[in-house]
Amino acid sequence: MDEYKAANLAMWDETVDIHYGSDFYGVERFKAGETTLEDLERPEMGSVDGKSLLHLQCHFGMDTLSWGREGATVTGLDYSPAAIEAARRLSKESGVPGRFIESELYDAPNVLDEKLDIVYTGIGAICWLPDIRGWAKVVSHFLKPGGVFYILEGHPMLWTLEDDTPETPMHIRWPYFETEKPQNPEGWDNDEDYAQTGKKMKNTCTYNWGHDLGEIVTALIDEDLRIEFLHEHKVCAWQAYPWMVEGDDKMWRVPNYPERLPLMWSIRAVKEA
């Protein structure tokens, strides 16, 4: 395992217990019946009832099991053993059936020998992957002919902005296109993670990669997926910058110049026969 992947894995292993007990994730609310899916996801995905669904990079399985509540037979895959253990615990405690498999993403075809109706990737996943073409191969590998792939993600333009950029003028700092090394080869060093619990972390150095929309779409097409839509959204599921404002729908927006910055994107694609 290379140094980047090892550092990221150490961080994810450490965050599992922090996240499981945090208000940010709201495990108790989930057990009481709350879904973690965004309002955008269910209508864009379509019905999953009675279908098999594989969630890549599932963390501890809240989104995976939310699709289970929608009627899918769900499998979650993640490379963090702590996350998989927590996902299995959450499945049992919530009463929502789900299968969870420990595997590094690019090695997943060697671990799971199945074809499924749906492959799903949730928010905040692909920025941890160095090779978007290898990711697309994995997506395609697990789909049956006619199967559906769906993703909702933060927009790659959003990830390029300086961390403390003002709303105007916005400052671009980080790479938009995929690079051999991470966006910041020195690593991001944060002693508190995004759940904002106030707990200090030991494994603070992490690495991300940028992937532009052209690279992502082309990678999927090259693996025999037919793109049904590519949507770019003016709303964001989290407050990426302090000047963003929250609407009644609990989504965040650029207040004064919404036409300047796409905040999220989504794709639905079908595996060609």
What tens digit of pLDDT does each residue of 27-37 get? Answer: 999 999 999 99
Tens of pLDDT along the chain (273 residues)?
A: 589 999 999 999 999 999 998 888 999 999 999 999 999 999 999 999 999 999 999 999 999 999 999 999 999 999 999 999 999 999 999 999 999 999 999 999 999 999 999 999 999 999 999 999 999 999 999 999 999 999 999 999 999 999 899 999 999 999 999 999 998 887 777 666 676 666 667 777 899 999 999 999 999 999 999 999 999 999 999 999 999 999 999 999 999 999 999 999 999 999 998
Given this model, what pLDDT does residue 196 score? 61
By residue range, what is the domain housing residue 179? 3-35+43-271
The enclosing domain of 243 has a CATH number of 3.40.50.150
Q: How many domains would you assign to the chain?
A: 1
Given this model, what pLDDT does residue 64 score? 98
Euclidean distance between CA atoms 135 and 139, whole angstroms: 6
Given this model, what pLDDT does residue 39 score? 94
Euclidean distance between CA atoms 98 and 61, whole angstroms: 9
Residues 236/251, Cβ–Cβ less than 8 Å: yes
What tens digit of pLDDT does each residue of 150-196 get? Answer: 999 999 999 999 989 999 999 999 999 999 999 888 777 766 667 66
Given this model, what pLDDT does residue 184 score? 81
Q: Which residues contact 105 (CB under 8 A, 6 or more apart)?
A: 56, 57, 77, 79, 129, 135, 138
